[in-house]
Amino acid sequence: MEPKIELRPIGIIHSPYKTRKNAPPQGCQRPEVVSEIEVFNEYSEGLKDIEGFSHLHVLYWLHKSEAYQLKITTPWDTELHGLFTTRSPNRPNPIGYSIVQLVGRHENLLRVRGLDALEGTLLLDIKPYVEGIDEVENARAGWLEGRLKIFTH
């Protein structure tokens, strides 16, 4: 009954984070760390004028994701939380999402800050971050409130 949905990688991420153990729970917790997004040559025309954008949404395939559970504990407390109220990489569809700061571009290579993806992660999509459509005021973050307030991009 369920349709099959297939994705194709459009690039690969080069990161100083080589294993899940040495990556931070969120990339923004290590704002000094620069990663590189290599967009495959066949897609590089789609980057035209991207250097005008300071921030990007990046979607990627969490290739080290493991079996998921619908209620989990997190690094932040000892309670069980609904999976969809967490940013755990172990999800039914392990698509990673980060907002990154674009700090440089050389042809099909983008240098970015704030990306928690591991070395070798496959890139799925890049979208522009646009104030007005991506901006939220006075958000309330349930049980996570205040726990991830570490760094502002």
Between residue 62 and residue 81, which ones bind a second copy under the rule CB under 8 A? 63, 70-71, 80-81
Query: Taking CB under 8 A as the criterion, which residues in 5-34 touch a second copy?
Result: 5-10, 26, 28
Judged by CB, which is closer to a second copy: 21, or 48? 48
Judged by CB, which is closer to a second copy: 16, or 92? 92
Say if residues 120 and 9 touch (Cβ distance below 8 Å): no
d(CA 102, CA 123): 15
Judged by CB, which is closer to a second copy: 75, or 132? 132
Provide CB contacts within 8 A for 46, sequence distance 6+: 39
CB of 107 to a second copy, least distance (A): 13
Residue 96, strand partner residues: 60
Judged by CB, which is closer to a second copy: 16, or 120? 120
Query: Taking CB under 8 A as the criterion, which residues in 92-111 touch a second copy?
Result: 92-93, 95, 97, 99
- Give Cα 121 distance to the centre of its chain: 10
CB of 123 to a second copy, least distance (A): 9
User: For a second copy, which residue of 61, 113, 118, 121 counts as binding (CB under 8 A)?
Assistant: 61
CB of 106 to a second copy, least distance (A): 15
d(CA 37, CA 61): 13
Written as six digits, the tokens of 39 are: 């967009």
Q: Is 146 left (phi over 0), alpha (psi -120 to 50) or beta?
A: left
Provide CB contacts within 8 A for 57, sequence distance 6+: 97, 98, 99, 125, 126, 127, 128, 129, 134
User: For a second copy, which residue of 14, 83, 90, 109 counts as binding (CB under 8 A)?
Assistant: 83
User: For a second copy, which residue of 65, 85, 105, 109 counts as binding (CB under 8 A)?
Assistant: 85
